[in-house]
Amino acid sequence: MMKKIGTIVLGFMLLSGWAKAESIGLIVAAQGKASAVDTAGMARELALQSEIMLNDTVKTEAKSRLQLMLSDDTLLAVGESSELIIDEYVYNPANTADNAFGVKMGKGVFRTVTGKITDLNPDRFKVKTRRATIGIRGCDLGFDTTAENEDKVAVLAIPAGKKIIITATESGDMLTVETPTFVTISSRGIIVQRDLTTADRKAAQQGAASDSGGLEFPDVGSLTQPVFTPAADNSVIQNTAQHTEQP
């Protein structure tokens, strides 16, 4: 009888959201005010070393920025007045087919450097903006979704033999990218590609703000070299080697 009662209680706890969600990463640098809202609608402040859970809605306020390091060494920078949700995340080196990453970017400025998941299962690393889905096979990308009529994607670095695939939500049009470039996706689903300028690169690296606050990623040039050193605290992530991509 006790076993049955215990099973019922455990089931109730799981359904009620009482069981602690599993951490998928940490905040490794922070500036200003930011918060995470879980699936139950509970909000908590984010600071250095705060944990990030699957399906958290991460929000930054004005003049605020975050850097997230996930368990597979994927790196996400969240600029000021920005919002995103990591709605899919599986990192399992023992089974390549299990690995997956999915993030939904709302209005804001972001940057991502891919980690080990793109080595293990490159077809299941996807970023969704308001106007496109981007399938990433290993690269360094900047995103600006603050405009009312278009999303901007800056491909800052991409190793030889790797690629990204951009699919416009409205039109279904697709673009394959294999070299650094700058892409816009309009509300009507029109994809336009042009050369990446120095100004584009600087805006993506600094979060499109005049004061980067020391939180920008370094200019990696190529993902065959180490891509990141936490700006605020080198001791936050334990036993995590810097990730390098192989062509």
Residuewise pLDDT in 10s, the chain (247 residues): 544 444 443 443 344 444 457 899 999 888 899 999 999 999 999 999 999 999 999 999 998 999 999 999 888 999 999 999 999 999 999 999 999 999 999 999 999 888 888 888 888 889 999 999 998 777 888 999 999 999 999 998 888 888 889 999 999 999 999 999 999 999 999 999 999 998 888 877 766 333 444 444 444 333 333 333 333 333 333 333 333 333 3
Nearest Cα to 118, choosing from 55, 161, 56?
Answer: 161
Distance between CA atoms of 152 and 187, rounded to whole angstroms? 11
Distance between CA atoms of 68 and 74, rounded to whole angstroms? 8
User: Considering the entire predicted model, what is its pTM?
Assistant: 0.77
Q: Give 122: exposed, middle or buried? Use CB within 10 Å, 0-12, 13-18, 19+.
A: middle
pLDDT at 20: 58
pLDDT at 207: 60
Nearest Cα to 149, choosing from 192, 86, 112, 206?
Answer: 192
Alpha-carbon torsion (135, 72, 75, 14), positive or negative: positive
pLDDT at 78: 92
CB distance 185 to 151 below 8 Å? yes
Structure tokens belonging to residue 214? 């020391």
pLDDT at 140: 86
